[in-house]
Amino acid sequence: MTLAITGATGFVGRALLDEAAKKGLEVRALARRPQAKTPGVEWVRGDLHDRKALAKLVRKAEAVIHVAGVVNTPDPMGFHLGNVEGTLKVVEAAVAAGAPRLVYVSSLAAREPQLSKYGHSKLHAEKLVAASGLDWTIVRPPAIYGPRDREILELFKLARWGVVPMPPAGRTSLIHVADLSRLLLALVPASERVTRQKFEPDDGREEGWSHRELARAIGWAVGRRPWVPHVSKATLERLARADKALRGRKAKLTPDRVGYMAHPNWVCSPKAMPPKRLWRPEVPTLEGLKATAEWYRKEGWL
């Protein structure tokens, strides 16, 4: 089996390559820049707007796993270009090549598209996938954590200092990147249980984590018991402006992110869980958070 993967050089993509290697799967992976030789991986130079590269990527592939996307950008148009137009180009290439299967990594943010341009762009991309005529499955992960992640890293850094400001009271689900990667590969074979379905996988914790519980769990992972103040939406908006002034285009807290961060419910729906016979989460979250903190330290990120 040959799998075509976009976003293979990113956080989720790298974990997916690791999991594919464990299973002895051959992978063709898209990358903007030259990559070191990787056993079992044929690198294809290009991006989501390079038709020739995409055609080469999906040629004779048994399945396409579309991971690539824009999660943060100073210019909201970046969400449309990366998530909507990029997905359209992947769909067109897959249809032209006669690819039998497409697994698309969306986001739980697509469930509430009115809250952010990011969530709106992911929902728009989902509609393109659903209308493609392909045999598809859509995965809407919640917050993803694990080695190589630079998004939740900010919370680990804050926890080390003993204070983790969190959004207004609410709850969220989590998933370890290794568990997500196993799910994506488990979804490759088509079946009635997964075809044309949308799934919301998580770590198995019923009703997710409160924002305070999550902050305390991250604090435990770094050996601290942090103070966890809840920050209002108005304050988050002011902090987003300050982050932009300090870090410019590299700002992590953007006005668009504030839109969905302040929402009280990002818990995965039990009705949208993948079939248990197909997949179950394996990484206990506390252990996963601690291992992630150790990886950050080893790499000098924390």
Beta strands 197-199 and 265-266 are unpaired
Q: Which of 159, 287, 165, 289 is nearest to 224 (CA)?
A: 159
* 96 located within any domain: yes
Residue 65's domain spans which residues? 2-145+175-202+269-282
Per the CB < 8 A criterion, the answer to whether 240 and 254 are in contact is: yes
Domain membership of residue 97 (yes or no) is: yes
Give the residue from 228, 205, 215, 182 showing the smallest Cα distance to 289: 215
CA distances from 259 to 113, 118, 121, 239, 302 (A): 10, 10, 14, 13, 28
Question: For 241-287, how does the pLDDT look when each residue is reduced to its tens digit (9 = 90+)?
Answer: 998 888 888 888 888 999 999 999 999 999 999 999 999 999 999 99
Report the SS3 class of residue 197.
Answer: strand
Give the 3-state secondary structure of residue 79. Answer: helix
- Residue 253's pLDDT is 86
Largest distance between two CA atoms of the chain: 54
In a domain, 33, yes or no: yes
Q: What pLDDT was estimated at residue 244?
A: 85
Residue 208 included in any domain: no
Domain membership of residue 252 (yes or no) is: no
In this prediction, the residues of the chain whose per-residue pLDDT falls under 70 are: none
Domain annotation covers residue 55: yes
- Cα–chain-centroid distance for residue 225? 28
Q: Torsions phi, psi of 66, nearest 5? A: -95, 100
DSSP H stretches of helix in 190-254: 211-221, 233-247
Please give the pLDDT value at position 62.
95
Is residue 106 in a domain? yes
pLDDT given at position 78: 95
Give the model's pLDDT for residue 1: 79
Q: Integer distance in angstroms from the first to the last C-alpha of the chain?
A: 39
CATH number reported for the structural domain that contains residue 120 in this entry = 3.40.50.720
DSSP 272: G
Which H or E element spans position 66? Answer: strand 63-66
How many of the other CB atoms lie within 10 Å of CB of 163? 14
**Torsion angle of the four alpha carbons 290, 292, 293, 296, in this order, in degrees rounded to the nearest 10:** 160
pLDDT, tens digit (0-9, with 9 covering 90-100), for 34-68: 999 999 999 999 999 999 999 999 999 999 999 99
* 249 touches 241 (CB < 8 A): no
* Count of domains observed in the chain: 1
The residue whose two tokens read 């506390």 is: 286
58 and 91 Cβ atoms separated by less than 8 Å: no
Backbone phi, psi, residue 174, to 5°: -135, 160
In sequence order, what are the beta bridge partners of 42?
Answer: 28
Task: Examine residue 13 and state whether it is found in any structural domain, yes or no.
Answer: yes
Strands, E assignment, 77-150: 102-105, 136-139, 143-145
The answer to whether the CB of 136 falls within 8 A of the CB of 102 is yes
Strands 171-172 and 209-210: antiparallel
User: What's the pLDDT at 58?
Assistant: 98
CB 30 within 8 A of CB 44: yes
Cα pseudo-dihedral 24, 30, 35, 40, rounded to 10? 10
